[in-house]
Chain A
Amino acid sequence: MRSGSPVYRRGAALALLVVVLIALPSVVPAFFINFVMTQTLMLGLAAATIVFLAKYGGMVSLAQFLLFGVAGFMYGNAALEAGSRGLNLGWHPWAAVAFALAVTTAAAFLLGALASRTTGLYYLMLTLVYAVIGYFVFAQITEISGPSGITSIKRPELLAAPVSLYYTALGLSVLAYLGFRALGRTAFGLALQGMRDDPVRMASLGFNVPLHRTLAFTLGGFVAGLGGLVNVWWNGQIDPASIGIGPTLILLIIAVIGGVSYFEGAWLGAFVYVAMSTYLRDLPLIDRIGITEARFNTVIGAIVLLIMVLSPQGLAGIADRLRRRPTRPRRPAAGSADETEAAIRRAQLIDE
């Protein structure tokens, strides 16, 4: 009975998936690992912060890609010794990592505090404004970037092998997934979920609602910053267009494709997005029906539309529904047994 419980099964499935992902570089082509999977994991990591804020805090943020970019810009400014743009501080790469994460977290704290009293559509609008301002800050202030961005960014020696970036992204993704899920069961996470459902009641119970929201946004910013570091190591450069409106919306689209209330959906959505953008045009005869690489955004748009209509909970929602269906009891249950089952079900939902 116990070994068949959803929590155990979920843990076993995750462990199995992690083992498969660890073994993956030995069996598949380098391009799939270094391009498709590394990109999937780092975009998933950033999208997971959207899920975290939306799922626990009811805050749909469009500023996560900005924070993803801030970490990259700050790393580039700190780590480069010479170059035609940026501060060229020439610090040790790991000092640059610490600096990048510190600045990103501080920026997230400030932006989160400013937005902490808004909800719903206004939160979305405000974080969109952050994304737009962020783009112009880096495009206009030539001391830290300028329109052409920071180029020739090298990754730390430790991560010199291409596959090490994949493992780094995988490790960070696993940690973020487990961490976010665990956080949901802590006092902080439960309070946050209470504020999502009824902020007025939580405030009257003595909880500091804006502070909780600010701290959640700060944590989301920190994790997005980790993804941003992997991105800048992977790409070797970052420029304002990297954090423009296009990529910002793509991250939200990734979260929506995967399912904005499922953490695993973030990575699932990222995989679908990256795989589509990489392989769609290679499908035989696909260009005969007018789907060339230039039509990629149309295809992604159609997929998002389809998912919104068929399953507002995204691909992870579909998977979840399929998974739950066979476990539904078919026998007519007696009163007391039914109540017990309902109680267990509620407990499981909190666990998940």
Chain B
Amino acid sequence: MRRPDRPRRAAALLAAAALALAGCSDGGDSSGLPADEGAGTAIGGDGVRLGILGECEGPFGGFHEDAVGGTVLAMVNHAGAEAASPTSAVDGFTGAEAAGTPIELVGVGCGDDTADRILQEVRRLVEQLGANVIIGPLSGDEGIAVAEYAKEHPDLTVLSGISGSQEQTLQVQAPNYFRFFGDGAMWNAGLGDILHNQEGWDSVAVIADDYSFGHTSAAGFIAEFCGVGGQVDARIFPPLGTTDYSSYIAQLPGPDEVDGYFWAVGGTGTQAALEAFVNAKGDLTGDQHAGNLFFNPDLAQALGTDIAGAYVGGFATLPGDVTTPAIDEYLASADAAWESLPGGVSGNEPAPPSTAAAFGFFYGYYSAGVALIRGLEVVDGDVSDPSALHEALSGLTVDLPYGSVSLDENRSGVVDVGLSQLVLGDDGAVVQEAVAVIPQVDQSFGGAFGPDTPSPSREFPSCEERDVPWEGDAIPVVDGVPQR
């Protein structure tokens, strides 16, 4: 009734615009537009344009310095670079060159432990800043997302930072995605063998965080413990962030019903879960408990020294008391590169850089940086053909401070894993002591995990006996020295 022609004129204008729009979007074949050139990566060219995917927010946000620092130290030690700041790693490095090829740091990404965010960060580094090599990311689900991204951008080269999920290599299998360290399952290699064959555990209850890392960590233990003949009587998965574990502990069999318990509960949950166990099932005894890397001597402060005797799974580095000339040299080089670093281990307070360097997060990124430099040396610094660099990286065996690493057919590291034990020190305090190094651990666990198996979950893997390649191969460590 009111001015009927007005909306009509507006509609006519919009219809014209819509028609133009339809013309442009027809068929999805819009070749010729700059936006259709995909990644827009500066592949080729003269040098390496490096982007680092760090982690400045989220649960691992405290390890941003560690992540960037690892790569910077690799550049300082092996590519003649200098750290840009004496007290912080995130400012990067200057003057890096490998086999005559300059390595320029174009940007540092900021993850928050989610796949969505890390995808945005890697896109920014590659598509906006023109990175042609990426080192990172840090956490498990991020690794899967970045590996998928790498698969879609075949000219990009990605070296994983310290992301521990299996799938990023085992199932995604991107030909340009490399991981020079182990995964969350591999870090528990050797525990099942020792506990079953040496400590006489036949049955075990498993308690793990109900998310991908908890599942993966538990999967490594279960695959091996069952592989060597043990039995898993219960698997309990409390949600991440649980504060009151009593209802989950109540579901566990009692200490007289199983030979032991394996814990893969992280963060503040480790202590809360063990305290709930003490309240419901009685005192802890070290010979009946084992944990993944989250078990540490600090637990004794709240739980008492009875926890001494518990076995602890490994991580990317070997336990702190293992010393070799290569490790000493590596830690000293970190102290020489910076005056101090506010890493995650020191609670982001300035600390000697070797504190951060001895921890897995820093070391994973260091391994990736060294591998990149070695790969560039193989191709004489020529990055114009990314596939040649990918081939070179695939065939590398990199000598690293905590043991040499080669890659399997899915470009995932075959590594040495160090196991340790909580023991009573001379002063009566609980300390962590290396007990064994498991050599040449790979992702498959003798066939328990493969490209066609499901991802580790609450039910997978099932408990089956199978040949575990490294059964009985554990190299004992005496007074911090592996008896190779």
Contact = CB atoms under 8 A, between A and B. Distances in A.
Contacts of A149: 115, 141
Given A29-B40, A161-B29, A292 B56 contact: yes
A151 interface: yes
A241 B114 contact: yes
A8 interface: yes
A148 B165 CA distance: 10
Contacts of B113: 241
B475 interface: no
A351 interface: yes
Given A25-B35, A84-B455, A171-B21, A293 B110 contact: yes
A19 interface: yes
Contacts of A120: none
B36 A161 contact: yes
Contact of A170 (B7, B21, B211, B455): B21
Contacts of B152: 236
A351 B37 contact: no
A166 B124 contact: no
Given A15-B16, A35-B123, A351 B114 contact: no
A118 interface: no
A11 B64 contact: no
Contacts of A289: none
Interface in B369-383: none
A210 interface: no
Given A235-B119, A237-B119, A35 B124 contact: yes
B13 A158 contact: no
A19 B454 CA distance: 48
Interface in A188-246: 235-237, 239, 241-242
A352 B140 CA distance: 49
B9 A11 contact: yes
A147 interface: yes
A30 B56 contact: no
Interface string B107-123: 00010011110011001
B341 to A, nearest CB: 17
A119 interface: no
Contact of A158 (B10, B28, B148): B28
A235 B116 contact: yes
Given A142-B458, A162-B36, A147 B115 contact: no
B457 A142 contact: yes
Interface string A319-332: 00000000000000
Interface residues of B, number: 66
Contact of B34 (A19, A29, A178): A29
A195 B14 CA distance: 30
Name A's interface SS: helix
A18 B28 contact: no
B17 A19 contact: yes
A7 B64 contact: no
Nearest to B28: A164
A139 B211 CA distance: 8
B14 A11 contact: yes
Nearest to A26: B33
Contact of A14 (B14, B34, B40, B453): B14
Contacts of B2: 347, 351
A10 B211 contact: no
A34 interface: yes
A174 B172 CA distance: 37
Interface in B129-143: 140-141
Given A174-B17, A239-B115, A292-B56, A163 B36 contact: yes
A265 B33 CA distance: 29
Contacts of A171: 18, 21-22, 25
B35 A34 contact: yes
A174 B40 contact: no
A160 B6 CA distance: 39
Contacts of A7: 6-7, 10
Interface in A28-48: 28-31, 33-35
B13 A11 contact: yes
B6 A35 contact: no
Contact of A30 (B16, B37, B144, B148): B37
B20 interface: yes
Interface in A141-192: 142, 146-149, 151-152, 157-164, 166-168, 170-171, 174, 178
Nearest to B22: A171
Contacts of A28: 34
A147 B35 contact: no
B56 A147 contact: no
B36 A152 contact: no
A22 interface: yes
Contacts of B17: 14-15, 18-19, 22, 174
A309 interface: no
B56 A294 contact: yes
A149 B140 CA distance: 12
A163 B20 contact: no
A5 B35 contact: no
Contact of A146 (B14, B38, B457): B457
Contacts of A158: 27-28
A85 interface: yes
Given A31-B128, A242-B114, A293 B28 contact: no
Interface in B59-74: 61, 64
7 contacts: A18-B18, A22-B17, A34-B127, A35-B127, A237-B116, A278-B124, A292-B56
Given A161-B28, A237-B148, A278-B128, 10 more contacts: A7-B10, A12-B13, A14-B14, A22-B20, A31-B40, A167-B24, A167-B30, A237-B145, A247-B116, A351-B6
Interface of B: 2-3, 5-7, 9-11, 13-14, 16-18, 20-22, 24-25, 27-31, 33-38, 40, 56-57, 61, 64, 110, 113-116, 119-120, 123-124, 127-128, 140-141, 144-145, 148-149, 152, 165, 167, 171-172, 210-212, 215, 239, 453-455, 457-458
Q: 3 closest pairs, A vs B, by CB?
A: A11-B10, A167-B25, A33-B35
